[in-house]
Structure 1
Amino acid sequence: MSATEVTHAGSAEESPAKPANEPTSELDVSSRWTVRRVGTLLAPALIFLGIREFGLLVLTWMAAVTDRSVTEALRSWDGQWFLAIAEGGYEGVPQGLVDAFGQRSAETPLAFFPGYPTIVRLFAGVDGAGGIGLVSASFTVTIVSGVVCSYALARMGQHIRGGSRRTGLILVALFAATPMSIVLSMAYSEAMFCALAAWSLVGVLERRWILAGVCCALAGLVRSTGAALVLAIGLAVIVAIVRRRDGWRPWVGGMIAPVGLLGYLGWVAARTGEWDGWFALQERGWGTGFDGGVATVRFSLEALADARSVLEVTTVGLIVVALVLLVVGFVRKVEWPLMVYAATVLAMDLCANGLMNSKARLMLPAFTLLIPVALALAKRKPSTTLLTLCALVVAGSWFGAYSITSWGYAI
């Protein structure tokens, strides 16, 4: 049997071998290349959506056990605020929605950034006929944002030191499987922010400064975590300017980057009559302020001492893991803008008091912490990598489902 026959034949019973001198048709070659290219193109989306679908299946099971509605669970807590703002604007939020202390003022809704609810409102078409509804629109925007983020992470994995396409796809899987990745399926703003942040950081790695600046500016309209992105982009821009790289582009990207965040904070300051209006709202309504990490340390010690709940003990474990990954990232010399971004996200989360139950969720945007894990798994045997990812998917899916079904407090 010739080499050609070995390549194209399966078994004698299944398909007869082609003669060695018979050329492969152009249609066959074109089909194989098309399938390969389509598979390559869709891989990040399929990995992300597949893992998130498994997470929703676990959520459905746990919701049935706890007699909860899946839809209600996916739009609970902050999701109610985002949906209310999307429907009626900041002035139209129902009075029944209150802050963590059960209080409410005219300015309370301003604590939530406008980016996500604005896109949900536009997509739902609430001002015209033929809209799909706010809840469906919110889930759609969240899922699409997650897919967009997956492509940025896949690309990021190829640009980092020692990276590859395989590293990028593993990074996508790790992101989709993180313990609080349930919010990537909820009416929450994390997915949209992560998509914009990831593409902004890709812009830095590729020295596409306009992309980095525009995505950073948009991210600043979605979450306050945009401050971490502004810092990382700003420092990268300064380095590029000092080294006289890329001409005028770093200047423009650097000027664009903080516009969204500073613009919204300035608008809230004008509405409240306080220069630190947004921060004051966070302090009054949710007890959130900078304390250098004192509250986080106290919470961690108390949770470990009396083991009050699975969620709290696991949250402490996740904090420790995040800090370890941060150190490993610097030791492994992951590109410094990515690590500066992750370090700042962690600092904003862990050095603030307020709702301790939200610590794990607020660490989700620090997705660049997963890079050392992706690099390590990319060097392992495929079977080892697959088993590890499967274990993480199961554990993360359970924890996320538990947090919005069995756990009775806000996340």
Structure 2
Amino acid sequence: MTTEEPSPATATAGPAGPAPGRPALGRLRDAARYALPALAAYLVIRLVVLLTVALWARSVGAPLGKELTRFDGNWYLGIARHGYDGYEKTQSNMAFFPLYPGLTGGLDRLSPLGPREAALLVAWLAALAAAWGLFAIGAHLHDRRTGVLLAALWAAVPHGIVESMGYSETLFTALAAWTLYALLRRHWVTAGVLCLFAGLTRPTASSLIPVVGLAALLAIVRRRDGWRPWAALLLAPAGWLAYLAWVGVRTGRPDGWFHIQSAGWGTTFDFGAYTVRKGQQVLSQASALPMIVVTVVALLAIMFFVLSLLDRQPWQLLLYSGLLLVTTLGAAGYYHSKARFLLPAFPLLLPAAVGLARAGWSRAVTVLVTVTAFSAYFGGYLLLLWKSSP
């Protein structure tokens, strides 16, 4: 499946990373060198988008830092500064999971950065870690070129501006990507620990935990890898369940977090009836650009999931992206944010990355330049013209 010669650093270990026999620091250095084209491509695309938005913001007198941390970003900043509020509020901030604001608050206290700058730095570093994880999966399953293009495509998606904002999507995507990579490599304890942290980051860890659990159960039934699958099975849901239990104690009801979501934030699960209804409204009348883009992204996500099935992706990736589609499109409320909620569903981009890798660099660059241009414009539109959250 590989279309190019492996680098010297990876020649003895396949396309995904350095040879295991070297010291840890040397392996990390070799892995970073191998991933460098993907990280560079990701950074270039994100910088182009961010520079475009910055120039646009300057022309209209909007402070870029404030725009990059608005809406959900303000909720995270409030948690980082003051902690969680009381349950009696109409919209309790306990709806937001703790890892991202916790890291923001810790960096704020331990560095000269302010809370806003700390939030952005955590999100940007997590975005780089996510791009690296996407590259690792693409290179492991196919080749280095596919890994580079997978990271680049994720950088250039229409709602890619969120990857530069003070939101938790980049942190969750990084943890999910490296969890799935660890699963593919049968590194059970690593997968369990990373999934634990993913469960402290976003509620969508409910799409990742079953993947780790099922993979661990299959290994246990087949009596493979000793105690390690058991460790993954126990660790994977621990963070998610712990936070839900904590909210339950704070609210005095076992379903406390779900009650906050439905009563305070208007989010329930209706098996997609709301999404279909809103999609029909968007397509049958004059609608705002973000609503049209969300509808197109939802349709493309379903198409790419079918292509992923036809391409026979590893079942771990299929189950993860399938569950993310179900939980995102099956939920009622916040139609304008559904494309953002699908940002962590990066395996859906793998068929496109494979196709571009086979098409050659000239065609791939042509596609990337085009989608980056739209991502830059649309990112500015979301921040500076659209009045709701991305």
Per-residue CA distance 1:149-181 (angstroms, 9 max, x = gap): 111111101222xx1011101111011111111
Residue of structure 2 aligned with 1:70, choices 64, 73, 83: 64
Deviation at 1:60, TM superposition (A): 1.6
Of the three residues 84, 95, 103, the one matched with 1:119 is 103
What pairs with 1:35-184 in structure 2 (closer than 5 Å)? Answer: 40-91=34-85, 105=89, 108-125=92-109, 130-160=111-141, 163-184=142-163
Shift of 1:62: 3.0
SS at match of 1:379: helix
Amino acid at match of 1:118: G
Q: If you compute each CA radius of gyration, which structure gives the higher value, 1 or 2?
A: 1
Letter in 1 for 2:191: A
Could you tell me how far apart the structure 2 residues matched to 1:400 and 1:201 are? 28
Cα shift at 1:63: 2.2
Q: TM-score, normalised by structure 1?
A: 0.85
Q: Which amino acid in 2 is paired with 1:108?
A: S
Other-structure match for 1:231: 210
- Answering whether residue 178 of structure 2 is matched by residue 199 of structure 1, we say yes
1:270 alignment partner in structure 2: 249
Q: What amino acid maps onto 1:83 in structure 2?
A: L
Judge conservation of contact 2:38–2:149 (CA < 8 Å) in 1: no
Matches within 5 A, 1:284-323: 284-323=263-302
Q: Which residue in 1 is equivalent to 2:383?
A: 404
1:124 aligned partner, one-letter code: D
Match of 1:247 in 2: 226
Identity %: 38
Verify the 8 A CA contact 2:35 2:135 in the aligned structure 1: no
Distance 1:251 1:53 in 2: 42
Cα deviation code 1:128-168 (max 9, x no counterpart):
6x5311111111111110111111111101222xx101110
Could you tell me which residue of structure 1 aligns to residue 8 of structure 2?
Answer: none
* Alignment partners' CA distance in 1, 2:112 and 2:61: 30
Aligned to 1:259: 238
* More deviation, 238-247/385-394: 238-247
Q: Secondary structure at the match of 2:359?
A: coil
State the 1:67 CA deviation: 4.0
Aligned 8 A contact 1:193 1:219 in 2: yes
- Contact map agreement 1:312 1:357 (CA 8 A) in 2: yes
| Cα RMSD, aligned residues only | 1.9
Q: How many angstroms does 1:40 deviate by? A: 3.6
- Runs of 4+ in structure 1 off by over 6 angstroms are none
Query: For residue 105 of structure 1, what is the amino acid of its counterpart?
Result: K
| Corresponding residue for residue 382 of structure 1 | 361
Shift of residue 410, structure 1, vs aligned partner: 2.0
CA contact (8 A) 1:44 1:147 kept: no
Residues 247, 256 of structure 2: 8 Å contact kept: yes
Instruction: Assess if the C-alpha contact under 8 Å between 1:79 and 1:186 holds in 2.
Output: yes
State the AA in 1 paired with 2:346: F
Residue 400 (structure 1) shift: 2.2
C-alpha displacement at 1:104, in angstroms? 6.9
336-345 or 60-69, larger mean C-alpha shift:
60-69
8 A contact 1:107–1:272 mirrored in 2? no
For residues 107 and 41 of structure 1, what CA distance do their matches in structure 2 show?
A: 42
Aligned to 1:17: none
The 1-side partners of 2:91 and 2:293 are apart by 34
Where 1:68 maps in the other structure, the secondary structure is: coil
Q: Which residue of 2 aligns with 1:32?
A: none
Q: Which residue of 1 aligns with 2:197?
A: 218
1:385 to partner: Cα distance? 0.9
